[in-house]
Amino acid sequence: MNTTTLTITGMRDEECLRLVTNAIQDLPGIGWLEISLATGAATIEHGAFVAESDIHQAIEDAGFGVR
């Protein structure tokens, strides 16, 4: 498993957190993920066939920023 650490921007409440979590978990090969609503910090374990750019795109498609 690979681990990607990033910061998600634009989350305001639990609903935003749920939307981002679901968007990431919909990708194939996501093993584990943890997102802090307070800081936007996210740690995602995923299979080698899921690129970091795929994760970024899923977050952006859900309406949030990523850095």
Measured CA to CA, the distance from residue 53 to residue 36 in angstroms comes to 20
pLDDT at 39: 97
CA distance 28 to 39: 26
Mean pLDDT of the residues in the chain? 96
**In sequence order, which ranges of 1-67 are alpha helices (DSSP H)?**
14-25, 52-61
Specify the pLDDT at position 65.
97
Which pTM was predicted?
A: 0.93
Walk me through the domains of the chain, giving residue ranges and CATH numbers: 2-66 (3.30.70.100)
Q: Is 35 exposed, middle or buried (0-12, 13-18, 19+ CB in 10 A)?
A: buried
Closest to 44 in 3D by CA, of 9, 5, 17: 5
| Residue range 14-42, pLDDT digits in tens | 999 999 999 999 999 999 999 999 999 99
